[in-house]
Structure 1
Amino acid sequence: MDRCWGISATADEGSSTARKTMEYSTVPRALGKRHASIIPVGLDEVLESENAAANITRLGSSEEATAKPRRTRKHRKSTHVARKEEKERLLNEMAILNAQLESLKQQAMASMDHVDQETTRSIQVGRKLRYTVHRNQQKFGEVASIMSEISLCNAQAGSPLHDKITLKRDQESRRKLLRELKASKISKGEHFLRLRRPNTNLRSICDEGRRFEMGNGDFFSERLSITQLKDARSVKQIYDLLVFYYSNIEISISEKIGHITVRLDDDAGSKSIIQNRLRSTTIDDLKVESNTIIFAQFYEQREGDYGVIVLDYVEDDEKYPYQRSECLRKDVVAVMEVRECPQSTKDDGKTTVVLTRWVQNKLRRPEFSVSIKHWNGLCEKMDMFGKTVQLSLAEDLYIEALGLGMPGN
């Protein structure tokens, strides 16, 4: 039957159609709507082609699924659960650390209980030493207190270097008395300085002193100093500078302290025995007077040159009496030594000049009234008379270093 018209086909037509069908079935065709309407293909062939295409599609999909598996989604914990777990972990860790700490404490206590005998003995010795040092410091404090009382008693009794000096009016007797006193004053000054100077190396700087008011109202000061003069060329140079300074002390006092000072005496008979009868006027218009004798001696020896200078005040002077109703009186007792000292402990031959000074000043309470302010000002500046020595030495050493030389030489 003809499929187009529904008419039965003849035998020849049927065989012809069968051949064509077999021919087309041997060649695979991609079917579509347009081809289906044009190419005369059997229904079974069309269905088989569609099934084959579907199978190919499913096979490709399964292969893709096998090649790229889908990633599974992880389960996410909630915040409170995560924090709870973290808290539990930290608590467990803290418990472990506390247990370790207790174990370490027990080990430390056990080690302290088993200290060896040597360590125990060292601890005991250290305790005894600290106790002994503490007791000695207390004793030293008591000794210092006693020494202060002794110093006060000595000041009231007078200086160990002081000798009562009374000068007459005539010039010859004055000079004779001072010449007779010189040897004993120099010897006494050397002996006192050996006892008073600390048994330390002269290469070390030393400066100590005390100041106090005595029972009668006089003001007292005492000072010991050791100074290294590294710029000095020799002992003789410093000795000459000191002698020159005390021969012209009124100039230094006027320049460096500001007290206008004049010299009242006119006796310059010897360079090794000098009298300084001075009167100073302060800024507050107060007058201060002093009468001091300077004894100087220089020694040249194989062991080393050295010089000694001793100062002592005059108790009574008929030619230049004290003006107690007009002036405040200042008394000075001092001893100075200049000698060489090695610069270091090494025996390299290098030396330096050392100046040792011990000075005792006393400012007597005047018979007339003085305000507390002015009195305290004088007491504060009293030690400056001694400090001008070092200032003058430094200036003169600088001048000589420039090659200008010392005045008067």
Structure 2
Amino acid sequence: MQHTPTPFDAPTESSQSPAAKKRKPTYLVRKEEEKALRDEVVKLEAEVATLQMQRIPMAVSSMQQVAGESNALCEFGRNQQLGVAAAQSLMLECTRTQHSHPLWSRICLKKDWSERRAMLVAIRQAKLQTAYTYAMARNQCITNSSDQESQEKFETDDGDVCCTSNTVIHFPGVESLEQVFDALCFYLNYMEISISERLGHITVREDYDVIEGSAFNCRIISSDENGVSTESNTVVFTQLFAKGDARFGGEPCAVVASGCVDEDELHPYNGAERIRKDISGAIVLTVSRQQDSQLAESGVEVVMRRSGILKLHYPQFPLSPFAQQEVEDGIADWGKVMIKTMREVLYART
């Protein structure tokens, strides 16, 4: 009898397939994921490092270029400054060796009083014009509103000591140009008193000729604390242009010109006892154009431009090195006394 297969006779699926796959524990899965992330981080860090290494040479090159350009500019500026210094040295040497100065002119006064006065009248206009032209040209590039001062001192081949100076002084809050001009004239008329009081030098003034409001000729004898005396024979010309003058810029201004008398037949220099001191100067007063609104309410600002050359002739009598050095060091002290006196007059408390 043929046997009919039954379901029990056929082999079961479980008996012929491998054992069912087990599920991984969660901690192992997380561990593998963590490792994969770490590997990815390492890979990314390596890529970043590679990119940075590629950019560093470019950055270094750029920085080196900037540094090179900066050094080149600094060197260029330094060379320009050295050029200016060399030019200043050349100018000082030219000033030292030249036998003249724009503000200096030879003045000789005779014994006759009428001839002396005629000489002052004859040279007055030219001295004022030269003083104005030189002072304005010397300060034409100075534009700011701060005070400035420059000074050069040197010795000539003859042993004379010279001092060239240029000063710009501002007088803010004053009433007018005329007020400052009056203060300047006050100093010029009583300078021996101011010098004696402020420097302690015994100073005497001898007026030889005065043309009221126009010019004067005087001798100033001053003795310092070492007993060394200097003498100056000077002519001074003053003029106020309250409404302006085309020959002097066309705007209101005041001009003062001073010059030394080279030869005076009536009052010769006493070189055996005193050191001759020559003064040639220019002063120009103008009203400032750079006034602010607050200053305009309280007054005006007047600008003083002052230029000059002073010369101490080589002493003709024995003098100790210390005493001579003291005289030379104080060659420009009178100019400081002038400014202090003017400020005292202008801003005196009432």
For the criterion TM > 0.5, the same-fold answer is yes
Is 1:386 aligned with 2:328?
A: no
Call closer, same or farther: CA 1:347–1:240 in 2, change over 3 Å. Answer: closer
Alignment RMSD, CA only? 2.9
Structure 1 unaligned regions, length at least 5 = 1-99, 403-409
Of structures 1 and 2, the larger Rg is shown by 1
Give the equivalent residue in structure 1 for 2:26: none
Is 1:296 aligned with 2:245?
A: no
Q: Deviations over 1:102-144 (max 9, x none)?
A: 9999766532423599988766654543332222122122212
Give the equivalent residue in structure 1 for 2:322: 373
Among candidates 180, 187, 193, match of residue 129 of structure 2:
187
Call closer, same or farther: CA 1:127–1:281 in 2, change over 3 Å. Answer: closer
Call closer, same or farther: CA 1:189–1:283 in 2, change over 3 Å. Answer: same
Q: Deviations over 1:324-349 (max 9, x none)?
A: 11111100111011111134578996
Equivalent pairs, count: 299
Whole-angstrom CA distance in 1 between matches of 2:303 and 2:269: 36
Q: Deviations over 1:130-182 (max 9, x none)?
A: 3322221221222122122112123xx12211111000112111111111101
Is 1:356 aligned with 2:305?
A: yes
Where is the strand percentage greater, Structure 1 or Structure 2? 2
Q: Is the 8 A contact 1:220 1:360 kept in 2?
A: yes
Q: How does 1:10-409 map to 2 (within 5 A)?
A: 110-115=54-59, 125-154=69-98, 157-301=99-243, 304-344=251-291, 351-399=300-348, 401-402=349-350
The Cα shift of 1:368 comes to 0.9
Moved more, 239-248 or 197-206: 197-206
Whole-angstrom CA distance in 2 between matches of 1:108 and 1:205: 56
Whole-angstrom CA distance in 1 between matches of 2:60 and 2:109: 79
The Cα shift of 1:221 comes to 1.0
Q: Is the 8 A contact 1:274 1:295 kept in 2?
A: yes
Give the equivalent residue in structure 2 for 1:95: none
Q: In structure 1, what residue type is equivalent to 2:330?
A: K
The Cα shift of 1:233 comes to 1.4
User: Which secondary structure does the structure 2 equivalent of 1:394 belong to?
Assistant: helix
Moved more, 114-123 or 291-300: 114-123
Call closer, same or farther: CA 1:145–1:266 in 2, change over 3 Å. Answer: closer
The Cα shift of 1:276 comes to 2.1
Q: In structure 1, what residue type is equivalent to 2:241?
A: Y
Larger relative contact order (Cα-Cα within 8 Å, sequence gap ≥ 6) = 2
TM-score (norm 2): 0.77
Q: In structure 2, what residue type is equivalent to 1:353?
A: V
Call closer, same or farther: CA 1:287–1:127 in 2, change over 3 Å. Answer: closer
TM-score (norm 1): 0.67
Whole-angstrom CA distance in 2 between matches of 1:312 and 1:342: 30
Give the equivalent residue in structure 2 for 1:49: none
Structure 2 unaligned regions, length at least 5 = 1-44, 245-249
Give the equivalent residue in structure 1 for 2:30: none
